[in-house]
A and B are shown apart, each in its own frame.
Chain A
Amino acid sequence: MARDKGAMRIMAVDEMAEALGITPGMALADARARLPDLQTTPYNAAGDARWLEEIADSCDRFTPSVALDPPDGLILDITGCAHLWGGEAGLMSALAAHLVQLGLTLRLALAETPDKARALARHGGDMLRVGRKISPRNLNETGLGYQPQPEQAAATSHATPLDVLDLPVDALGLAEDKITALRRAGLRTLGDLAMRPRAPLAARFGQATVARLARILGEEDARITPRRVPPDISVTQRFAEPVGHSDILRATLHELAGEAGQQLAQRGQGARAFLLMLFRSDSQVQRLAIATGQPTRDPDLVLRLFQERIETLADPLDPGFGYDLIRLDISETDPLGADQLGLTGKDNPARSINLLTDRLSVRLGAERIRRFAAADSHIPECAGFTVPVARPVLPLADHGGTLEAGEPPLRPMHLMDPPQIVQVIAEVPDGPPRRFRWRRQVHDITAYEGPERLSAEWWKRRDGAGLTRDYYRVEDSAGRRFWLFRHGLYEREKDKPDWYLHGLFG
């Protein structure tokens, strides 16, 4: 139940309540009048949405392209998947058995287009209904304390038990006033609409009505937008009995990786991203992803990276009652030629470094293995930065190193991010620093060079403002070298500019 316009209303009912005449949309007061013992719980929209997502996840085992049809529907595109389950009927009954096992009652329809299937399922009536069956006799005997008895695979698998033409106009899924208008015109079923010329229909009831009709009748096809991008290559292993032993999992993964590798080799490609999906028998799905820097199709490497990934999981992989289906998806591929042996029989250094960075990326996260990148900017922190090794970067700019002969390094080895505030004593407010205090230590400056004046990137800012930085390269009495800057020009941009330490020279 939920509060709607000041009244508590019933949002959803179970079969038992339905059998007793309670319907969604009924005011709670009316329902209580009919059934004083009615048990209610607050409506949890977010929880329902999450549950739908979970069910959609577990339906990934039937097809990789699953779309949500909120608040309570799923659309599965089973093109090319049915043969794995012994045809469409086999897939339908497996799907029904799977969902009924989760305690759901559902209406299941199969059609050539998603809109047709949706219309059939939502408006096709109880003929399509699949679920645990309750007979009224049973209900009377046990009263409200009724415990549903699990009835396995109460599946019905009608290919098209109904004709869409018999469906009521509600199946168009249009707004209430449009439907009323259609009914007033005497058009009650989709069949009534379908036999009429479309142009006058569009003129009177709008283009949307005609478009929906065409889709439902299958004259026009619109593909679903799957929740996840379907993978390039997908290999699956089903088990008759759920398995949980790690040796079997490892062997299966190796086999799947080998199978995928063969497919890749035929295409002359190597994979850069793998997704392993472990479907538990209780509908939970565990997903593990790995990525490699260089394209690969070596099953040993894939297995090793996945093992590395499993070791890093915060909570270890819990097989529960076992996995009944394992799938390996490959979503990213790159061209990869045939393997070639090195002439000296030794490992190519670049190759062994790639293997190392892949392993470390899987263990520590791809964001933690980095290399230097440079950009064309005079702002120090923008001119040089690091990017993950896995991400390809274009060499936009040089790394610097444009020193003249005899010049010492002008940029620090280590850059502070963010710059650290320091207390500076200078002889004149806009002059060079004399002495500064950083981390409770006072440094007397014996040599300095500066200022190197870097203005803010005012052309990138809406207000055209930004403080100028005056950089000084300084050396203290112990020979330690620092990079300091004054943030803002004295009395021109700021009354009392702050000083920052931005980097350390060796």
Chain B
Amino acid sequence: MVNIIDSHPSLARLKRQIEALTPSAWRDPRGRVSFGLDRLDARLDGGLARGAVHEVLPRAEGDWPSASAFALIIARRAAEAAGTILWISSDAQRRRYGAPYGPGLADLGLDPDQILLVHAPDDLACLKAAADSLACTGLAALILDMGATQRLDLTASRRLALAAERSGVTALLLRPPASILASAAASRWQVAAAPSAPLPGNAPGRLTLSLALLRHRGGATPFDMVVEWNNEYRRVCEPTLLRDLPAPSQRRHMAA
């Protein structure tokens, strides 16, 4: 098919103008995914690389929900409000930790309609689905949750990284704790749960995570940080404990 649009100079000019109006993140696949917390973004030179593979691993077995929440946070920041997130998980992982739950994701500040789920039967199907999905330019982010496996070796992860770079899809690999397999990921994070700032009446508070950057291809030095996810403004922020806490009665008042 002859591309009519490029064949005529005035049309080509119009095309450039329209592209100039679209958000920069679409135009530049190498744009950055910011967390919305200056202290964290500064360490990463503006944020995580878009169109790259990032690894997230829990510190211990029981921190898996926190790791998956962090992967989801990066995916949400990459997709913004309109992008589509594809979540691929294996049957074994869903048996172990349960299936993603729409109302819970909505509470975290995500729109469940922007998430598509792929329930792959096994690791191989997971990897194949991920490879196909990373070729799809319409996706914003992809979460691959396949537990402990030998299949995701250096070659496989390099293949995923290349595909992500080509399509601009940000891929997040959820891996088991202490995975020692080498990989071609752009960054590697270790995530653990952290006690939240309790609400009035000693109720558990917002999602609080203890992050550790283990490796970064861009040259950022490893660091540890405790952060909180603000489900209203959909950004990472300082944990409430470090901020000035209004008195509990005031909090409720402000909320109302």
**B139 on the A face (CB < 8 A):** yes
Known: A347-B138, A403-B231. A389 touches B97 (CB 8 A): no
Answer yes or no: A351 CB below 8 A from chain B CBs. Answer: yes
In contact, B100 and A413 (Cβ under 8 angstroms): yes
User: Please, how many angstroms separate the alpha-carbon atoms of A415 and B101 in the complex?
Assistant: 6
The answer to whether A448 and B203 have CB atoms under 8 Å apart is: yes
10 additional contacts, CB 8 Å, given A356-B86, A401-B106, A408-B196? A345-B3, A356-B139, A369-B118, A371-B113, A371-B116, A408-B199, A411-B101, A449-B201, A449-B204, A504-B65
Is A349 a contact partner of B84 (Cβ separation < 8 A)? yes
Give min CB distance, A97 to chain B, whole Å. 45
- Report B-chain residues with C-beta under 8 Å of the C-beta of A345: 3, 5-6, 15
Stretch of B29-37, B44-52, B66-74, B173-181 on the interface side: B66-74
CB within 8 Å of B: which A395-411 residues: 398-401, 403-411
- The 3 A-B residue pairs whose C-beta atoms are closest, nearest first, are A506-B69, A401-B106, A349-B138
A474 to B196, CA, bound (A): 11
- Are A353 and B195 in contact (CB-based, < 8 A)? no
- Whether B104 is near chain A, meaning CB under 8 Å from some CB there, is yes
Is A479 located at the chain interface by the 8 A CB criterion?
A: yes
A447–B203 touching, CB < 8 Å: yes
Q: Once bound together, how far apart are the Cα atoms of A386 and B3, in whole Å?
A: 40
Does any Cβ of A come within 8 Å of B232's Cβ?
yes
Q: Does B107 contact A (CB under 8 A)?
A: yes
Cβ of A381 to closest chain B Cβ, rounded Å = 9
Within 8 A of A (CB), among B131-149: 132-133, 136-139
Total interface residues on B, CB under 8 Å, equals 73
Interface 9-residue window, one of B157-165, B205-213, B215-223: B205-213
Is B236 an interface residue, CB under 8 A from the partner? no
In the complex the two chains form, what is the Cα distance from A409 to B118 in whole Å?
24
B204 close to A447 (CB less than 8 A):
yes
Docked Cα-Cα span, A455 to B15, in Å, equals 58
Complex: how many Å from CA A481 to CA B137?
A: 36
Q: Which residues of A429-472 are within 8 A (CB) of B?
A: 441, 446-449
B residues near A414, Cβ cutoff 8 Å: 65, 68, 97-101, 104
Residue in B closest to A410 when the chains form the complex, CB atoms = B107
CB distance from B221 to the nearest CB of A (A): 25
A481 and B196 in contact, given A351-B138, A356-B132 (Cβ under 8 angstroms): yes
Q: Does A287 contact B (CB under 8 A)?
A: no
Inter-chain contact A352/B136, CB cutoff 8 Å: yes
A479 to B106, CA, bound (A): 21
A368-B255 CB under 8 A given contacts A408-B204, A506-B207: no
Chain A: residues with CB nearer than 8 A to chain B? Answer: 341, 343-353, 355-357, 359-360, 363-364, 367-374, 380, 383-386, 389, 398-401, 403-417, 441, 446-449, 473-475, 477-481, 503-506
Main secondary structure of the interface of B (DSSP, over half): mixed
Collect the chain A residues with CB atoms within 8 Å of residue B255's CB: 404-407
B108 neighbours in A (Cβ, 8 Å): 409, 413, 506
Partner of A353, one of B112, B138, B254: B138
Indicate if the CB atoms of A479 and B194 lie closer than 8 Å.
yes
The answer to whether A448 and B4 have CB atoms under 8 Å apart is no
Residue B237 interfacial (CB < 8 Å): no
**B115 at interface by CB-CB < 8 Å:** yes
A384 near B102: Cβ-Cβ < 8 Å: yes
Please tell me if B105 contacts chain A, counting CB pairs below 8 Å.
yes
- Spell out B's residues near A (CB within 8 Å): 3-6, 15, 18-19, 62-63, 65-66, 68-70, 72, 84, 86, 97-109, 111-113, 115-121, 125, 128-129, 132-133, 136-139, 192-196, 198-199, 201-210, 229, 231-232, 251, 254-256
Residue of A351, A364, A373, A405 ringed by the most chain B CB atoms within 10 A: A364
Q: How far is the CA of A472 from the CA of B115 in the complex (A)?
A: 27
In the assembled complex, the CB of A393 is this many whole angstroms from the nearest CB of chain B, namely 11
B204 partner, pick from A347, A348, A356, A448, beta carbons under 8 A: A448
- Kindly state the separation between the CA atoms of A352 and B83 in the bound complex, as whole angstroms: 13
**Complex contacts, B194 vs chain A, CB 8 Å:** 479
Q: Output the nearest chain A residue to B256 by Cβ-Cβ distance.
A: A404
Please name all residues of chain B whose beta carbon is closer than 8 Å to the beta carbon of A349 when the two chains form the complex.
84, 137-139
Option from B65, B66, B111, B204 in Cβ contact (under 8 Å) with A474: B204
* Across-interface contacts of B229 in A (CB, < 8 A): 506
B129 contacts A360, C-beta separation under 8 Å:
yes
Q: Could you say which of B97, B121, B132 contacts A360, with CB atoms under 8 Å apart?
A: B132
**CA of A364 to CA of B130 in the docked complex: distance in angstroms?**
13
> For A505, what are the chain B residues with a Cβ–Cβ distance below 8 Å?
65, 69, 104, 204, 207
With A343-B18, A413-B68 in contact, do A368 and B119 touch (Cβ < 8 Å)? yes
Q: Is the CB of A506 within 8 A of B129?
A: no
Q: Are A411 and B107 in contact (CB under 8 A)?
A: yes
- The one of B68, B136, B139, B232 that contacts A506, using a Cβ cutoff of 8 Å: B68
A residues near B69, Cβ cutoff 8 Å: 413, 505-506
Write out the residue numbers on chain B whose beta carbons fall within 8 Å of the beta carbon of A356: 86, 132-133, 136, 138-139
Known: A345-B3, A364-B120, A441-B62. A473 touches B104 (CB 8 A): no
Identify which of A405, A413, A449 contacts B232 (C-beta below 8 A). Answer: A405
Pick 21 A–B contacts, CB within 8 A, sort by A: A347-B138, A348-B138, A349-B84, A355-B136, A371-B112, A372-B112, A372-B117, A384-B101, A386-B100, A399-B102, A406-B232, A408-B199, A408-B205, A409-B207, A410-B107, A413-B65, A417-B98, A478-B195, A481-B207, A506-B72, A506-B209
User: Which chain B residues lie closer than 8 Å to A408 at the CB level?
Assistant: 107, 196, 199, 203-207, 231
CB-based nearest B residue for A356 = B136
When chains A and B are docked, how far (Å) is the Cα of A166 from the Cα of B67?
84
Residue of A whose beta carbon sits closest to that of B135: A356
For the complex, give the distance between the alpha carbons of A403 and B117 in Å.
24
- CB B224 to nearest CB in A, in angstroms, measures 15
Contact status B103-A401, CB under 8 Å: yes
* Chain B residue at minimal CB-CB distance from A504: B65
A367 nearest in chain B by CB position: B119
Query: Please, how many angstroms separate the alpha-carbon atoms of A406 and B245 in the complex?
Result: 12
Asked if B204 and A481 sit within 8 Å, CB to CB, the answer is yes
